[in-house]
Homo-oligomer: A and B are copies of this chain.
Amino acid sequence: MAQPIIIYAVCFDISDDRIRRNVGKILLGYGDRVQESVFEIAVKTPYQLHQLIGQLRPLLEESDKLRFYRLCANCREQSHVIGEGRIADWPNAIIIC
């Protein structure tokens, strides 16, 4: 059975080093760091993203900013990279045995 996954690019401006490190650790559990403040992550359901946002929000200060850009397969195909790496080339679904 194939479980569709939902891919996001997560970008952040977080001033405090400790908070930024903690947010990075949490996001690493969902995907890869592709730039200093950009991760590409995969979640299984919109509710899982909702849970992740709920986990991150209490850590943040008023001035901190995060953006979760949804990337459908079509948008990933039309995205571009200059420099190292490729756009999240994960499959659209993961096999669950």
- CA–CA, A11 to B13, complex, Å? 12
A71 at the interface (CB under 8 A from B): yes
Chain B neighbourhood of A75, CB < 8 A: 69-72, 75
How many copies altogether?
A: 2
Within 8 A of B (CB), among A1-34: 6, 8-9, 11-13, 34
User: A38 is contacted by which of B67, B80, B83 (Cβ under 8 Å)?
Assistant: B67
Contact in complex: A56, B82 (CB < 8 Å):
yes
Within 8 A of B (CB), among A46-72: 46, 49, 53, 56-57, 60, 62-72
What's the nearest-Cβ distance from chain B to residue A47, in Å? 13
Contact in complex: A37, B37 (CB < 8 Å):
yes
